[in-house]
Amino acid sequence: MVLIADSGSTKADWVLMPEDGDNMYVNTRGFNPVVHPHDLLHNEVQKLSKDLIPNRKVTEVHYYGAGCWDFRRKKVIYDCISNAWPSARIEVMHDLLGAARATCGDDPGISCILGTGSNTCLYDGKDVTDNVTNLGFMLGDEGSGSHLGKAFLRAYFYRELDDDLNDAFETYTTADKMTVINNVYESDMPNTYLAGFTRFMGEHQQHPLIQKIVFTSFAEFLDRHVRKYRGHLELPVHFIGSIAFHFKDILLAALHERDLTAGRFVHKPIEALADYHSGK
């Protein structure tokens, strides 16, 4: 029985693929070994193995995760999964490879992640061949939920919102300056906290200021990442993640302005990864 995981910093999707019968899909909290404590993933995996899929023999685990870019961080994931399913063959991979497999399949392309964080890669149909450096939410993550959240909060606290949008936001949240600062500088998951403000932005994305903030962030993402790849004007540019999915129209406008070819927009790649690993 094969278990596949696609984990971002906020949410994780899992699919259990039995040899016969229908696939079973499960959702848990997400995990990023760069910013989250080890116990967070350990607790989620233990709950998964004991409560959600008990008494099932897992023989293979394919885990695609945010922040899994080197041996040390991959080992954090590997150890947690191995404790839950010690006899399983475990493969821990960067979520970029998962994004490429889910969007490109066996064809060349540029695959992008726009969720809580952001990342991109150039894919030749088999392997990731290039990756513009991702500097994380403090220095980079252009186009991501955390990047949008920061830009919106700056506009709010710098008094750049018009009265209607300002009043709507203050009705939406009770967060004041110190609440925001404490959550950004002292919490375990500041990137997730910042990305949470995109819910309000999504509900008001027809507002000109929201559109300007989102378009500017997407433009920076495309200019600093996608346009650095060889062949970017010829290859399709694919996207996965909630930010790309919910702000698709604005993203399409930014792509069109740069003569980039829009590819697939996939909200959650877990079904495509299940097809990939089943050989469909």
Could you read off the pLDDT of 158-168 as tens digits, one per residue? 999 999 999 99
- Taking each helix axis from N to C end, the angle separating 95-103 and 270-278, rounded to the nearest 10 degrees, works out to 80
Read off the pLDDT of each residue in 121-132 and give the average, rounded to a whole number.
Answer: 93
Handedness of CA 274, 225, 204, 169 (dihedral sign): positive
Give dist(CA 232, CA 120) in Å, integer.
Answer: 12
Rounded to whole angstroms, what are the CA distances from 247 to 69, 118, 131, 148, 210?
Answer: 27, 14, 24, 11, 11
Query: Domains of the chain: which residue ranges?
Result: 2-99+270-278
Q: What was the pLDDT predicted at 208?
A: 95
Name the pLDDT band for 202 (thresholds 50, 70, 90): very high
pLDDT in tens, 221-247: 999 999 999 999 999 999 998 899 999
Strand partners, 64: 6, 93
DSSP class of residue 125? S
> Which strands form 2-7's sheet, in the order they lie side by side?
24-29, 11-17, 2-7, 60-65, 89-94
Helices (H), 173-227: 177-185, 190-195, 198-203, 208-224
Rounded mean pLDDT, 129-152: 91
**pTM of the prediction?**
0.80
3-state secondary structure of 141: coil
Q: Does 280 have pLDDT greater than 60?
A: no
3-state secondary structure of 37: coil
In tens, the pLDDT along 73-120 reads 899 889 888 888 888 899 999 888 999 999 998 899 999 999 888 999
Structural tokens at position 138: 């403090």
128 touches 68 (CB < 8 A): no
> What's the pLDDT band for 59 if we cut at 50, 70, 90?
confident
What does residue 206 show for φ and ψ, rounded to 5 degrees? Answer: -85, -10
pLDDT at 20: 76
- Res 268 pLDDT > 70: yes
The domain 2-99+270-278 is placed in CATH, from the list 3.40.50.150, 3.30.420.40, 3.40.50.300, 3.40.1350.10, at 3.30.420.40
